[in-house]
Structure 1
Amino acid sequence: MSTIAERAAAAAGRTAEEPSSSQDAPAVEEFPPAPDPMAGYEPGDDDPDMVPVHLAWLRVRKEVRAIAKGEQYNGGGTRFNFRGVDTVVNTFGPVTLKHGVNVLPTQVDAEYRDTTTSKGNKMRECTVRVSWLIVGPKGDTLALQTQGEALDSADKGTAKAQSVALRVLLLTGGLTPTHDKDPDSSHVERGNEAPARSAESYRDEILDKKTSPSRLQQISYELANLRMLNTKVANENNDQETLDDLGRRIYGERTGGGS
């Protein structure tokens, strides 16, 4: 039995075309998969663990723990404590390096406007929106975005605003509290007030080789709040040394910065 297509072709004086088989279809060019950048990688003794970026960032947060408001602004009738960008970067920098985490700006959008101070001085206001990538040791990423704002009378407004955006990224992306007591620093005794931490216990923690540089910085903030920086203790050589000098010296030795 002929098909409708065959009868129509016969009426037109031609034959119906046979449907083409899949073998006659043009071959689709197959591209080789992209090379794996980690294919030939062999971890060295000092290399970070090859974990996903969210785990690497979690390790950074666990080691940083907290950054106190150890700096103070006092001007124009206003006084407040804050965490400066240098302090934040100095705390996060060595820890991110240890865990193989890179923090990279990928795009900066800036807006400017002219303004004046209350005394009539001309200033330039800069507001930036910065897109960031937190890159883990395996090359996978986390995308974040922060904003920063700054005033300047010269050409430093953009740099200041970007520094603020970086500080906001590290503090908010790291959920970094202002103070985090060491779990061994105190304990609760029923019926009595918890004893204050002794200078000798701080000395022992500073000298402990397991104490990280970021923890040494945090200890410095705690000692400043307790007004114990100038308290003298017997150091590892049994010489009298202030807790401030001891902490700075040990921090320098462990970060390669000298005393």
Structure 2
Amino acid sequence: MTSLAERAAAAAGRAPEAGQDDLRLPQEYVDQFPTPDPMAGYEPGDDDPEMVPVHLAWLRVRKEIRGIAKSQKYDGGGTKFNFRGVDMVVNAFGPVTLKHGVHVFPVAVAATHRDTTSSQNKKMRECTVTVSWLVMGPMGDHLPLLQSCGEALDSADKGTAKAQSVALRVLLLTGGLTPTDDKDPDVSYIERGNDAPARPAESYRDEILNPKTSQGRLQQIGYELSNLRMMNAKVVNEVGEQETLDSLGRRIYGERAGGAA
């Protein structure tokens, strides 16, 4: 009985090589039956995307997305911030990638887990993932393999799924260079006026001389006077003599430090 390699070699008009793997076909035989082009004879339908290379398709996606604002708000545990959630990002990219024939596939996930606790001492499971993504265009070509990371905490079994969702959001936002459309702080400039009256030197004198003023507050007053450029401002001290606020503050601080010792 002839082997697969022998039959393939016979069909190619050659003898099989010694020690050749029975399951491996000779290259000459393989060349006679090339892999068919999946796009051969394809005619785009009315709703199909234009057949362009993946880098152009992704560029068109970016042109349509433009920006995604941080319109979602978190308010819990004394912490407040605005953010762009996973659903918001996917809802923005989903229809546009579909329109331009762009596919995003996770092809490998490397995950690590560890047990931890929340600020309320609740047992949690932390998951950190690195996901490798394949971004494919309408013609079947793809961008070089992309990677993004995600991290999530969960008290049950959803940590890995959450972390992968975060990694997807990171991929779309960074790969799409998606701005927040927030106003840049440098767009506006407001010059400070001089109409706000500074605190009078006598007010600082009275606070320095007040026995209830702590040593910590005396140090803070020194910083304030330095920022306000009032260190050399002269006031009438407790014995009726002219003295600078800097000298007064240092003297009183030293006297109270010695008394405390």
Which residue does 1:107 correspond to in 2?
Answer: 108
Match for 2:170 among 168, 171, 190?
168
Which residue does 2:158 correspond to in 1?
Answer: 156
Deviates most, 92-101 or 26-35 = 26-35
- Give the conservation status (yes or no) of the 8 Å contact 1:96–1:102: yes
Which residue does 1:96 correspond to in 2?
Answer: 97
TM-score by length of 2: 0.58
2:79 pairs with 1:78: yes
Q: Which amino acid aligns with 1:60?
A: V
Q: Which amino acid aligns with 1:126?
A: C
Matches of 1:180 and 1:33, distance apart in 2: 53
Which residue does 2:131 correspond to in 1?
Answer: 130
Provide structure 1 residue ranges, at least 5 long, that are not aligned to the other structure.
Answer: 1-24, 182-259
Give the number of aligned pairs.
158
Provide structure 2 residue ranges, at least 5 long, that are not aligned to the other structure.
Answer: 1-13, 17-26, 184-261
User: 4+ residue stretches of structure 1 with deviation over 2 A?
Assistant: 25-30
- Give the conservation status (yes or no) of the 8 Å contact 1:129–1:148: yes
Matches of 1:44 and 1:75, distance apart in 2: 50
Matches of 1:180 and 1:144, distance apart in 2: 27
Which residue does 2:8 correspond to in 1?
Answer: none
Matches of 1:100 and 1:63, distance apart in 2: 14
Counterparts of residues 1-259 of structure 1 (less than 5 Å): 29-30=28-29, 31=31, 32-142=33-143, 143-179=145-181
Deviations 1:5-31 (A, max 9, x none): xxxxxxxxxxxxxxxxxxxx9697242
Q: Percent of counterpart pairs with the same letter? A: 76
Matches of 1:56 and 1:167, distance apart in 2: 19
- 1:180 CA drift (Å): 7.6
Deviations 1:118-165 (A, max 9, x none): 221110000011110011000001121101000000111011000000
- 1:40 CA drift (Å): 2.1
Give the RMSD, CA atoms, in angstroms. Answer: 1.9
Secondary structure of 2:82's aligned partner: strand
Q: Which structure would you say has the larger RCO, counting Cα contacts within 8 Å and 6 or more residues apart?
A: 1
